[in-house]
Amino acid sequence: MRKAWGTTQAEIVFETEEAMAAAKSKLEGKYVGNQRIWVTDKKANIPKAPINLPNQELPDIKDVITPWHNVPYETQLQRKSEKIGAIVKQIVTNLQKEPKNTWANKVPKFLGIVRSPVETGYRNKTEFTIGYSEDKKPLVGFLLGAAKDGILAVGDPSQVPVVPPEHLIIKNAIQPYIEKSELVPYQKVTHTGFWRLVILRSNRARQHLCTIQVNPVDVAEETITKIQNDLIEIAQNIKTEDGTNLIAGLFIQFHSGVSNAAPHDCPFKKLWGEDIIHEDLLGLKFQISPASFFQVNTAATEVLFSAVGDWCKGVHARSTILDICCGTGTIGLTLAKKVGKVYGFELVETAVKDARKNATINNISNCEFIAGPAENSLPKALKNVQTNLPIIGIVDPPRNGLHAKTIQAIRACPEIETLIYVSCNPDSLVNNAERLCHYTSNTYQGEPFVLVAAQAYDLFPQTHHVETLAFFRRVSKLDLPLPFSIESETSLTDESQGDKKIESDENQGDKKIESDENQGDMKIESDIKKEEGTDAGAESMKND
């Protein structure tokens, strides 16, 4: 049985028509409280196209997960740089269509793109789908397409360049057990089957958390107990070259919902080992649990967060930073020593708990993390802020961008003079920027912001995805000095420059953006931040 959150409807799937008829006769006309139960038939959710047609040519798994794997890295950077340069121009063009936006003639500076220090094997989280290969054998890998298109086959991930070798070692150790299991992989069409996902989290110390997601419906408790014991034995025998356990902690997650993306409150049961691992980031230690959000490319994240810190240079030592959509507190905590106070706002309560733990681990006492909608929490927090000093707002929203009410709350806080926007989706950045910069109205109260500068950061090599850092200032504060230079032309430096490799993009905005719509690439998104699911192979490769 499946019930969508927030509704009064449920869907029950039966194996036989007799079982369905018996249930209907028992439920029809019954009441729950004063609500009558109404029973209706629903057609099975069969895909529009037949599943894996005999003559259907399935795509190469590398093209599905990493569609730019054959594109030289310098060309990847150029494409992404051109794309974000054009996005910056689009924001200005859209604002200029409204005459009341008199400040829209101020053209923001696009500072080019900063490359990732690592181009392959960079993912610290991998979600392998357990399904069937093209030849109908159980396989732990990535989906080759979308269920709505009739493609349910799973491809071998061994040659996907962004997957770390250690993740493949663990996957290959678990694979034979699933092949021999009497329980079958979960099927999206029938919503039946046991094995669903193998989820791996890792740090740069080569420690791993491994979660096996399963559907426990109609599986005997003693069978699940035996499977758990068998998985523990497998995990304990996966070793590094020096004999250390490659898996630090093993978990199982019971999930019977339609989508592989389990709800935030779906628990993880520890079977063996450690509850968490830690990752070092910019001199701080962050805990990673099976459910924690953490950017998937750690080395490139350090480059990005260093830039956020650079863009906060010159801030008063007693100033306040408002870290909106703070997740597990990574950005705010890395800036905490530079300012008097950091307030972090996050909708997901489990993320807030992780943020508080991260503050404790690092002996940081000037950070306060608040769970709930930012539009409700912001005004309350500002009552405790020293308002004679400037406030910097930092937003790092999920893929769909800031909620309209959050934008309104930011606009209505005059103390926020500077806003730094970390974007994982250019489309939502355009939408949000237009509202942040919109002329003052009943809907958007407070002085508008102006987009001053933007820079692209490649956190996802081999794909079209790219992060953008955007710097906004209030209209009346444009004369204030900037924490970075926008006068000098940047250039793409050599390999030895590490995290300062920047590609020149002086006139990139005028160039044609090479379309990647037909590249076959699927969304690669992140955990708490990137929640929307996809039926394609990249459902297993979500970009945080």
The whole-model pTM stands at 0.81
Contact partners, residue 128, CB within 8 Å, separation at least 6: 140, 141, 142, 157, 171, 197, 198, 199, 200, 540
What's the CA gap between 206 and 285, in Å, rounded? 15
Confidence of residue 496 (pLDDT cuts 50, 70, 90): very low
Pairing mode of beta strands 467-474, 449-457: antiparallel
Q: Annotated catalytic, 424?
A: yes
Q: Is 346 annotated as a binding residue?
A: yes
**Lowest-confidence region among 17-31, 314-328, 382-396:** 17-31
The lowest-confidence range among 33-47, 59-73, 333-347, 400-414 is 33-47
- Confidence band (pLDDT; 50, 70, 90) for 29? confident
The two tokens of residue 494 are 């050599």
On whether 275 is known to bind a ligand per the annotation, the reply is no
Place 520 in a pLDDT band, splitting at 50, 70 and 90. very low
CB 49 within 8 A of CB 150: yes
Give the dihedral sign, CA 431/5/287/534.
negative
The residues pairing with 131 across neighbouring beta strands, listed in sequence order, are 139
Residue pLDDT, tens place only, 290-323: 999 899 999 999 999 999 999 998 777 788 999 9
Spatial distance between the Cα atoms of 211 and 229, rounded to a whole number of angstroms: 14
Residue 194: name the closest of 202, 204, 183 by CA. 183
Residue found by looking up tokens 């220090």 in the block: 117
Interval 380-391 mean pLDDT: 78
Helix (H, G, I), strand (E, B) or coil at 517: coil
* Catalytic residue, candidates 325, 326, 367, 424: 424
Give the pLDDT confidence score for residue 387 in this predicted structure: 66
Note the pLDDT tens digit of each residue in 232-286.
Answer: 999 999 999 999 999 999 999 999 988 878 888 889 999 999 999 999 999 999 9
Question: Which tens digits make up the pLDDT trace of 67-109?
Answer: 999 999 999 999 999 999 999 999 999 999 998 988 888 889 9
- Residue 145: the pLDDT is 84
Q: Please indicate if the annotation marks 213 as binding a ligand.
A: no
Helix (H, G, I), strand (E, B) or coil at 179: helix
Q: Helices H, strands E: what count in the chain?
A: 11, 22
